[in-house]
A and B are shown apart, each in its own frame.
Chain A
């Protein structure tokens, strides 16, 4: 039974920007429709248009029918009655989506009282029930808490509770887990499934993450430049994509199951909605482009058996030849073979961190500021990086990875422990030595917009480190750097805002390379980029490493990216290292229960695997780093500890585990009293 029917929906913003062009889909009761697309593809605007919540000045045409009732052009009062009752919506950022000055319980109760004639007490009671339903512990107490007192995952649960308060028929989820860590994401996705079971609603799931919808959606709609380009059953889309964009998207994702293969980027950038190309909007980036592609925009038409439709004039050819992304996209050349790399022990150590500690005072209140405790951001970690090596530092937000990196970059004496860069102890550096050492140690930041001064042309940005260190021949070097990262020397005169995200990140990399460093610290360098762009940047980093003989400290929360690029990996949890070792070892035989949970939580862009795999769901939230659990930090959430005998478990509560080398492996250690030695089940990482 179709409950929501969208037909030829178009949204045009002021200035003639066509954000959505001709979107059509149907949603049946109990069905999950995934809408997938990169930033700017119009997927969020589509859902806001359905809700009638677009900002004033947006022109909407087409038809949106809920239970056969037309919503476009419906009087505002009637639409208001439907919102929150028949259609519920879950937004991306759960912090800004709650009003900061009211309690969570009050806001949920408000949602109840808008549509149901119940008293205040009853609504409050219902709010507590709903919070209980979405798995919030002590819901009666937590209902009285304010949004800022909730963690990100808890807020998103509360958001779901609010959205289902009136038993809606349709739930629209706009990137509901994007702001969350993987283990929390896994929890929230479970809650969403529960919510669907409870309400029987149809779900429209909007995301950029192909992994998230693989296990959840029944059907998938792929959007590009405001248009639907492919629509079909989830298996059809993932296993037999017929639109080159979908094919490229799937091929560009770093895969846990195919780690060593070279990533396949989609060249170029999505078109600006204000200046669309004449024909197929994907044509400029498409490896299968023929002249006819520029003649007109292809319609979404049925391809092959089943319900699938694709917007590509060559879709039938693809279907016939059964092509896939890896065959149609040119696979970039792998970097030239490294000189037979010497054993790790013989190589120079470029970075050595030992027992590093960094504690912060915890201040509370903006007006009545005072110290209320100590944040144990980094609490005694040790690792080293050999020449030519990439160490991946992974962990969820709040685990201390960014602090670690800042401590290294500051090149000053740490609170405790030592940081040795290229054989020089940071605590014993003179002013001149420190400046000289900065040449060899550079950084690339996460947010490519924030990392470049918006008021400086790119040439000046690249010249800044050169001039600061007295290099001659600056213009020539700037041109050289731009070429090195795949940009034009003529780009030096432009400003950062004239570049796309991927290009800006390349500029950031060029700046880091300016002084020919030996070690580059990469702080989540690709997490702000769309997947198709991300692949190109990862390839560039790989090439540069080989070409220039660099070592990387690669900080990331995305385990598949780390799997792809790193030689060794260190997993952090609450300021400590939980597990460290060679990538092959750690990913194939994770020994620490936390690593195992982390790996099992990563959504895979493979519907069959997603459906069949057994997830290790962690309980609750990350404890606050201001009051970490004693002894083993992971014990409060450890699934393994729950299975231990009381006697064995006592050891976890009293004795702090230290990183110990695991017997069978050469380079693999874990900080667990009872490390797992068996192979991880095939489905968890595959």
Chain B
């Protein structure tokens, strides 16, 4: 097991390295940080621009491979380089990473947890009104892209605040100037809408998966055996079908994580959170090569970590794939 995990880890690190390098090359060749300086009033001398860009390892006059080598030698020592303004990418990332992780973690846990529960409920109530309502709702939600969902939530929040006088927050991470308990409450308040926006799609997706998997399992012999033993239909479903159907649902975890990551970009942008996702969009628009490369590195690590986690969950749930 140890040797296997090590091998797996090595191949994952390799995959991340190649993916991140690819992203760097893409970013370094398609983004143009020089533009940020050239358009300035008063004009900046070319030599000055060159030396500034050289300092930040962003000079497009240097062969891209040379820049890459510089970037890599920084990355392996833990230095992700400088932004186009010369600030440290590490510092910026340190500020933003927590924001994104908080959102992603809550989104994953709530999305999959509630989704599985809703799906199981729908499966037990197959063809009843509640199952149909859940099915229709899931379909509609899955058809609404995150950015439309986020905006609609904002519209809804504004409307609700006007009508009911509530103070549901829809921009930023917290209200500045508060402290202690008030600040915690404010953070929670700010968290509500982004969480809903990120989770709803996941819940809808997982509920469909879990329902379908459970109904697939329902027709299988072991559920019949469980009922032949004297378990009621509901007990057989909850004890035998739900647990077994979790296995295929868990394998979807790795795949949905990519969607979640993309969803986080929209959510952060629309609700004004300064996370990694928002940073990606901003830095592409600002031609900030090193920042883009850093976000990509972060994304690659997250995706692979999700894949590994998914494998572990599957192994924990399914004795058939464990190696003793």
Contact = CB atoms under 8 A, between A and B. Distances in A.
B318 interface: yes
A289 interface: no
B320 A368 contact: no
B149 interface: no
B225 A98 contact: yes
Nearest to A149: B319
A58 to B, nearest CB: 14
Interface stretch (B174-182, B295-303, B309-317): B309-317
Contacts of A101: 243-244, 247, 317-319
Interface in A76-100: 76-77, 80-85, 88-89, 91, 93, 96-100
Contact of A83 (B220, B227, B322): B227
B230 A148 contact: no
B230 A368 contact: no
Interface in B238-253: 239-240, 243-244, 247
A99 B314 contact: no
A536 B314 CA distance: 48
B323 A100 contact: no
| Interface residue range, chain B | 20 to 34
Interface of A: 51, 53, 55, 76-77, 80-85, 88-89, 91, 93, 96-102, 110-111, 114-115, 146, 148, 159, 162, 166, 364-368, 370, 372
Q: Which of B230, B243, B244, B314 counts the most chain A CB atoms within 10 A? A: B230
Given A146-B319, A367-B314, A96 B4 contact: no
Interface in B16-66: none
A11 B320 CA distance: 37
Given A77-B232, A96-B221, A98-B222, A148 B320 contact: yes
Contacts of A370: 4, 323
Contact of B229 (A96, A110, A366): A110
Given A101-B247, A110-B231, 7 more contacts: A83-B230, A93-B221, A99-B222, A101-B319, A115-B230, A365-B321, A368-B321
Contacts of A99: 222, 225-226, 240, 243-244
B229 A111 contact: yes
Interface in B96-124: none
A148 B222 CA distance: 13
Nearest to A145: B319
A91 B220 CA distance: 12
Interface of B: 1, 4, 219-222, 224-233, 239-240, 243-244, 247, 311, 314-315, 317-323
Contacts of B232: 76-77, 80
Given A148-B320, A364-B323, A367-B314, A100 B222 contact: yes
9 contacts: A76-B232, A83-B228, A84-B230, A88-B228, A91-B221, A91-B224, A101-B319, A114-B229, A159-B225
Contacts of A81: 230
B230 A114 contact: yes
Contacts of B231: 80, 110, 114
B234 to A, nearest CB: 10
Nearest to A365: B323
A159 B227 CA distance: 14
A97 B225 contact: yes
Across the A-B interface, give the 8 residue pairs with the lowest CB-CB distance, nearest first: A84-B230, A84-B229, A96-B221, A146-B319, A89-B228, A366-B321, A367-B321, A111-B229
B1 A368 contact: yes
A603 B301 CA distance: 61
B228 A51 contact: yes
B318 to A, nearest CB: 6
Contacts of A368: 1, 4, 311, 315, 321-323
A111 B221 contact: no
Nearest to B227: A53
A85 B230 contact: yes
A634 B90 CA distance: 67
Contact of A100 (B227, B315, B320): B320
Contacts of B1: 368
A576 to B, nearest CB: 29
Nearest to B233: A76
Contacts of A53: 224, 227-228
A99 B224 CA distance: 10
A311 B261 CA distance: 69
Contact of B318 (A85, A98, A100, A115): A100
Nearest to B126: A56
Given A97-B221, A101-B318, A367 B230 contact: no
Contacts of B220: 96
A83 B235 CA distance: 14
B28 to A, nearest CB: 36
Contact of A97 (B222, B314, B317): B222
Nearest to A159: B225
A111 B230 contact: yes
A162 B228 CA distance: 10
A84 B221 contact: no
The residue among B226, B228, B311, B318 with the most chain A CB atoms within 10 A of its own CB is B228
B188 to A, nearest CB: 37
Contacts of A148: 319-320
A365 B322 contact: yes
A675 B51 CA distance: 93
B196 to A, nearest CB: 33
B172 to A, nearest CB: 41
Nearest to A96: B221
A377 B220 CA distance: 31
A83 B239 CA distance: 17
Nearest to A163: B228
A148 B244 CA distance: 14
Contacts of A80: 227, 230-232
A81 B227 CA distance: 10
B311 A367 contact: yes
A102 B225 CA distance: 13
Contacts of A162: 225, 229
Contacts of A97: 221-222, 224-225
B177 to A, nearest CB: 50
Contacts of B4: 368, 370
A111 B4 CA distance: 38
Contact of B315 (A96, A110, A367): A367
Given A91-B224, A100-B320, A367-B315, A83 B229 contact: yes
A98 B240 CA distance: 10
A77 B220 CA distance: 22
Contacts of A88: 228
A370 B224 CA distance: 34
A509 to B, nearest CB: 33
Nearest to B251: A367
B87 to A, nearest CB: 42
A97 B226 CA distance: 9
Contacts of B311: 367-368
Nearest to B311: A367
Nearest to A95: B221
A91 B314 CA distance: 28
User: Which one of A97, A99, A146, A162 has the highest number of Cβ atoms from chain B below 10 Å of its Cβ?
Assistant: A99
Contacts of B229: 83-84, 110-111, 114, 162
B232 to A, nearest CB: 5
A366 B323 CA distance: 9
B9 to A, nearest CB: 13
Contacts of A367: 311, 314-315, 321
A435 B221 CA distance: 44
Most buried by A among B4, B219, B240: B240
Most buried by A among B221, B233, B247, B314: B221
